[in-house]
Amino acid sequence: MALPKRIVKETERLMSEPVPGISAVPHDDNLRYFDVEIHGPSGSPYEARVVLDRRLPHGAPKIRFLTKIYHPNVDKLGRICLDVLKNNWSPALQIRTILLSIQALLGAPNPDDPLAADVAKDWKEDENRAIATAKEWTSKYAVPGSK
């Protein structure tokens, strides 16, 4: 099946004007798949690798964290709780916007609307300790060279 024009356009746009702190590379054998590396905003304890499956233009893309991450809004399987991926998805939203939203989520974890309840609990009890754990997980699982 031919690739929808929208995907071609968006890929071109992502390549020519990349988002700061985010690199998105289309998969070799399936151009709807993207391997994404996200650096959390400065001061955030996160870096992550994400896989993105675009069902554009009309369905929301499927996104999952590949690297283990200690974050109240991401569960053990790497699934993300984010409004723009669920009920606030609109076909006019671009992949760029979605990726920026995820980056923002890394910068501002929201333990009041948790997906990973245990992480959220830690977060509320002792934020400093939780951030330390998040840093540790990042260096263990997500920094390039680690596995």
**23-62 footprint of other proteins as x/- string (CB under 8 A):** ----------------------------------xx----
How far is residue 125 from each of residues 17, 44, 129, 138, measured CA to CA in Å?
A: 41, 19, 9, 21
Structure tokens at 40: 């959390």
One residue of 2, 90, 144, 145 binding other proteins per CB under 8 A: 90
Residue 76 main-chain phi, psi, to 5 deg: -60, -30
One residue of 1, 29, 92, 145 binding other proteins per CB under 8 A: 92
Does position 6 interact with other proteins (CB under 8 A)? The reply is yes
| Residues with active-site annotation | 81
> Which residue, 16 or 42, is less far from other proteins as judged by CB?
16
Q: Do the Cβ atoms of 74 and 80 come closer than 8 Å?
A: yes
